[in-house]
Amino acid sequence: MRLVSLTMLMPDMVLAKSIYYRDCLVLKEGTSDLERYTNSLKRLGIDYLYIEDAKSYGIEIPDAISEETRLMCKQVLRQTIEEFSTRAVIDIQEMSAAVNSIIDEILANPDVQISLNDIGATDEYTFTHSVSTTVYSLIIATKLGYTRSMLEKLGTGALLHDMGKILLDNKVINKAGKLDENEFEHVKKHTVLGYEALKRCVNLTELSRIISLYHHERMDGQGYPTGTPAAQLHEFTRIVAIADVYDALVSDRCYRKKWSSNQAVNYLVEHTETQFDLQLVSVLIKQIAIYPNGSMVRMSDHTIGIIKEQNKNFPLRPFVRIVADGWGNEITPYEIDMMKVLSITIIESELEMSWDSQSGSYETV
C-alpha cells in the first residue's frame, strides 16, 4: 500500500482504503480504474488516496488506531457539534465512549507508531484534525504514564479543542490565502468562544475545558488569548499544543500543501522553548516514523524507493524497496535493509512522483 496524490493515479492502481465523505462511503476499497473518479474526488476536496499497486504490494502502513474507531470518532464529533449548534447541548456520554475507544487501542499497542497522516475532504478538516490531534495527545500522555481517568479528561478536551471554530465566520476559516490582521484576530476568538461554550456543558471537567482556551499559548508567552507562558499552564494544554501543530503541518490545507513527517518534526524541534515544551516534543517524536511506510524516497545513489518497513530503534535506516534507477526509469524492484548497507542514506523523503509516459520515467512533481 502507498499514498499517492490524485494527479499521480495510474491504470494499475487499486484503492487500498475506502473513501468516506460526511460519514458516507463514496469509494470502496478494491475499486480499480481510479482515474475516472478523479474529478468527483477533486470536487469533494479529496486530494490523496491509499492505493495498492505492484510496486507497493505487501507494504503495510500501520495506524495508531483502527479505521473503524477513526470513523466513529469523527461521526460522534460531527453529531456533537451539530447538536451543539441547534440545541446548545453536548452529549458527553457518546464523546466519552469515543475517547475510550481511542485509549483502548493505544494502550493495547505500546509500540504504537505515528505513520502517514489520516486523509480527508477539505471541508471535513476540523473533524479529521480533531481526531488526529486527540490520538497524538493520548500517545504522548500514555508514554508519560497518565492514569485512565486523566487520559479520558485529556482526550475529551483534545477532541473538542477547536469547538469554538463553529462559532466563527466560515469564509475566514476556509480562506485559501493568508489571513489579514482582522481575520487573524477573528480566528483567535475560537479559543475563548470554545471555552465559553464548553462551560455550559456541566458534565465536562474544567481540565477538559481549559484545553480549548489555552491550546494556542506558547512557552515564551507570545501565544493567545492570554499570553501566559505555557510552562505556567496545565500540562494538558502543552500536550495538545504540540499535537495540534504537528497534525496541521502534515495535513493538506487550503492554503498550503502538507509537509513531510521529517519537516514537521524539524519544525517542532526548532520551536522548542519558544513555542513548545521540549520534554513533550521529545516524547512525541520518538513515536513518529520519520520515513513512513508506503512513502517514496530518493536515496543517496539517486535511486528511488518506497519505504517497506521500519528498523526498530533505527528510524533513519528502514527497509526500502527500490523501484526506479537514478534517471527515474522503472527497474525490477529489489529490497535493501539500510542497516546492512550503511553507505547509502535517504536524501529526499515523501516524494510526490508522477509517471511521464513520453519519457517513460518518474518525475518529481
In the complex, which residues of this chain contact Fe ion (CB under 5 A)? 162
Looking at beta carbons only, is 98 or 187 nearer to Fe ion? Answer: 187
CB of 175 to Fe ion, least distance (A): 15
Q: Which residue is nearest to Fe ion (CB)?
A: 162
Q: Output the CA torsion 81→82→85→87 (10° steps).
A: -110
Smallest distance from Fe ion to CB 263, Å: 21
Q: Which is nearer to Fe ion, 162 or 217 (CB)?
A: 162
**Least Å distance between CB 216 and Fe ion?**
6
Q: 112 Cβ partners below 8 Å, 6+ apart?
A: 64, 106, 139, 287
Helix (H, G, I), strand (E, B) or coil at 289: coil
CA neighbours closer than 13 Å in the CB half-sphere of residue 171: 2
Q: Which of 87, 54, 71 is nearest to 323 (CA)?
A: 54
Residue with Cβ nearer Fe ion (21 or 224) = 224
Task: Give the number of other CB atoms < 10 A from CB of residue 317.
Answer: 20
CB of 281 to Fe ion, least distance (A): 18
Instruction: Pick the closer one to Fe ion by CB: 197 or 320.
Output: 197
Neighbours of 30 (CB within 10 A): 10
Per-residue 3-state assignment (H helix, E strand, C coil) for 29-89: CCCCCHHHHHHHHHHCCCCEEEEECHHHCCCCCCCCCCHHHHHHHHHHHHHHHHHHHHHCC
What residues contact residue 12 under an 8 Å CB cut-off, 6+ apart? 53, 54
- Report H helices in 144-290: 148-159, 170-173, 181-188, 190-199, 206-214, 235-249, 261-270, 278-285
Give whichever of 162 and 252 is closer to Fe ion, judged by the CB atom. Answer: 162
Tell me how far, at minimum, the Cβ of 237 lies from Fe ion, in Å. 11
Nearest residue (CB) to Fe ion, 121 versus 245: 245
| Residue with smaller CB distance to Fe ion, 221 or 225 | 225
Q: How many residues does the chain have?
A: 365
Closest separation in Å from C-beta 290 to Fe ion? 26
**Of 63 and 252, which has the nearer Cβ to Fe ion?**
252
Q: How far is the CB of 162 from Fe ion (least distance, A)?
A: 5
Distance from the first to the final alpha carbon of the chain: 20
CA distance 333 to 135: 35
Least Å from the CB of residue 193 to Fe ion: 11
Alpha-carbon span 112 to 154, nearest angstrom: 18
